Copies of this chain bind each other. A is one copy, B any other.
């Protein structure tokens, strides 16, 4: 955009924009993109964010591994790494993270002085709650505030969140949620998580544990939602037929080959998804619900196509602008990239900073 256009969009004078652009250019945060003539008048000098003007580091902590990614300011990954872990105590993890961080800085020349912060994704819920202790959470982390701990270790501002929130933010940066400010993201991790974005900001809850949609009771069965709709439920279903699918590729293969056990799981899963959609839509009235996470693409597409969306919903509107249910980013690294996206979103979207 040109100075005058930016000024109009921001309700600032052209002169003010000029001053700000001069400062940002000096800092290397903007690049010039030539002149653009759209009609009469002096063609505007175009400015854009310099993708190499800032970087965000993302870490995903899992019980068995550590995943890291480095994103530039446009959200392009410039590094991705995975390290298997056997111990998950804070000291072991922080040492490993520091070493991954140094690798990232070594990989990308110039990132050193331009780090905007680090995003950390770790399994929730945070603190002792009624759904703790189900095997997915990390030991030895109860007495530590992860944000402070990592912030001191890396000497960077740190954002901590869960996988679903991170994935939702990643989707806003580059994916299906671009331009949306009210949407929900259903994330397939081990269980089923929900990332909620309201007016451009994550709804994190009082203790950062919002979005545990997998744990709500599921109508018609004696169990919760994620007992029907999650990767773990699918894997349990398969293993009861003596089939073992530990990774996404195996699941994709089974889906592709129309495996009858996998397909038997699909129908009740779609019903569970329809229920989840009804709950999320009526409680939250999103522009769209995006489906993503550690599932094969084809399976996500199947869910989007085959799930019959509830009629009794505030989102069932005749003139909807967006598909009510759509698929987003899938794969192993979604949440890791999302961790870094947390930082980019904090940097790039206006908010009130609380004095410290």
Contacts and interface: CB of A to CB of B under 8 A. Distances in A.
Interface of A: 9-11, 124-125, 127-131, 181-183, 194, 196, 198-199, 201, 203-213, 215-220, 224, 275, 278-280, 282-287, 310-319, 350-352, 355
A204 to B, nearest CB: 8
A209 B314 contact: yes
A201 B202 CA distance: 12
Which of A216, A278, A286, A319 has the largest number of chain B CB atoms within 10 A? A216
A355 to B, nearest CB: 4
A203 B207 contact: no
A217 B279 CA distance: 8
Nearest to A218: B219
B182 A205 contact: yes
Contacts of A128: 317-319
Given A208-B285, A315-B130, A217 B216 contact: no
29 contacts: A11-B355, A127-B317, A128-B317, A130-B312, A130-B313, A130-B317, A131-B313, A131-B314, A183-B206, A194-B283, A196-B203, A198-B203, A198-B205, A199-B201, A205-B286, A206-B285, A208-B285, A210-B283, A210-B314, A212-B285, A213-B282, A215-B282, A215-B312, A215-B313, A216-B278, A217-B278, A217-B310, A224-B312, A350-B352
A350 to B, nearest CB: 6
Contacts of A275: 217
Contacts of A208: 285
Contacts of A286: 205-206
Given A130-B311, A206-B287, 16 more contacts: A129-B315, A130-B317, A131-B282, A131-B313, A182-B206, A207-B285, A207-B314, A207-B317, A210-B284, A211-B285, A212-B282, A213-B283, A215-B278, A216-B282, A217-B278, A219-B220
